[in-house]
């Protein structure tokens, strides 16, 4: 169920019997040889698939987030922290005003973490509404499946290389890239980050088999559906 395929009357009818919805959020930033919108693509697709199973409306993905460290890579877009927090707050205010009281925020970008802390404050101001923040890519079951598949992987590596995040005609390097610690990048400027990483992959193989990736994806969908169906009290 996609909000983009519903009119306001259908939303009003849905809210007569259910008050759940999904809001996906991602980022537009460098992902080496993959799409610049990997985080948005994955968050939205996961939200759509889980929402279809749980019969829950899904809002369009917020495609911009906090990506300051990648701004030396052309194509990257970042918001200021205060802008992003204000954006999330305004969207949640509107969703709540519509009548939704259980909101699953499916996040596809680790840099968006500051919003997670803001949600507690927002819920204090709106005690009748529950918002779950779901980092789908490192949620317990999904992350366990990732580690089972390959313990070495990071940003822009095989971990984010799905059939729907690849670009036509773009070949992937065959070799694995040495892992780079995120802590090692925290004090670097965007320009020095680019110098350190080169193509942008932070470590690991660039691609694994579609069968392995689909297995991870199935776990991610199941885990997201479970969050929609329970644990709201």
The average pLDDT across 13-40 equals: 98
170 occurs within a structural domain: no
Q: Which helix (H) or strand (E) holds 182?
A: helix 182-185
pLDDT at position 186 is 87
Q: At CA 94, angle to CA 84 and CA 58, rounded to 5?
A: 85
pLDDT at position 113 is 95
- pLDDT above 90 (res 84): yes
Domain around 69: 3-141+210-229
pLDDT at position 184 is 83
Contact 50, 224 (CB under 8 A): yes
202 occurs within a structural domain: no
52 occurs within a structural domain: yes
Contact 23, 59 (CB under 8 A): yes
- Can you tell me the distance from the alpha carbon of 147 to that of 166, in angstroms, rounded to the nearest whole number? 22
153 occurs within a structural domain: no
146 occurs within a structural domain: no
- Can you tell me the distance from the alpha carbon of 156 to that of 161, in angstroms, rounded to the nearest whole number? 7
Counting the structural domains of the chain, the total is: 1
**C-alpha 56, offset from chain centre:** 18
pLDDT at position 1 is 84
pLDDT at position 97 is 98
| CATH for 224 | 3.40.50.10310
State the chain's mean pLDDT as an integer: 96
Q: Is the pTM of this model over 0.85?
A: yes
Contact 160, 136 (CB under 8 A): no
Residue with tokens 């822009």: 156
pLDDT in tens, 90-117: 999 999 999 999 999 999 999 999 999 9
Q: Residues of the chain with pLDDT > 70: what percent?
A: 100
pLDDT in tens, 137-183: 999 999 999 999 999 999 999 999 999 999 999 999 999 999 988 88
pLDDT at position 150 is 96
- pLDDT above 90 (res 233): no
Report residue 144 as tokens. 């366990």
pLDDT at position 182 is 82
Contact 182, 193 (CB under 8 A): no
Report residue 176 as tokens. 């694995």
């Amino acid at each position: 169920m996609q909000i983009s395929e519903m009119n306001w009357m259908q939303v009003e009818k849905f809210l007569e019997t259910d008050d759940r919805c999904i809001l996906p959020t991602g980022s537009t930033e460098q992902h080496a040889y993959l799409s610049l919108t990997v985080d948005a693509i994955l968050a939205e697709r996961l939200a759509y698939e889980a929402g279809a199973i749980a019969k829950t409306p899904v809002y369009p993905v917020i495609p911009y987030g906090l990506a300051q460290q990648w701004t030396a890579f052309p194509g990257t877009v970042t918001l200021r922290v205060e802008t992003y927090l204000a954006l999330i707050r305004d969207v949640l205010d509107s969703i709540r005003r519509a009548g939704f009281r259980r909101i699953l925020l499916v996040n596809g970008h680790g840099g968006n973490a500051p919003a997670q802390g803001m949600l507690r404050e927002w819920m204090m101001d709106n005690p009748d509404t529950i918002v779950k923040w779901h980092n789908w890519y490192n949620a317990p079951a999904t992350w366990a499946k990732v580690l089972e598949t390959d313990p070495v992987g990071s940003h822009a590596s095989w971990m984010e290389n799905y059939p729907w995040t690849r670009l036509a005609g773009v070949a992937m390097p065959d070799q694995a890239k040495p892992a780079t610690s995120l802590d090692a990048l925290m004090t670097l400027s965007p320009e020095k980050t680019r110098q350190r990483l080169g193509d942008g992959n932070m470590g690991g193989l660039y691609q694994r088999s579609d069968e392995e990736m689909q297995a991870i994806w199935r776990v991610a969908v199941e885990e997201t559906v479970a969050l929609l169906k329970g644990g709201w009290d």
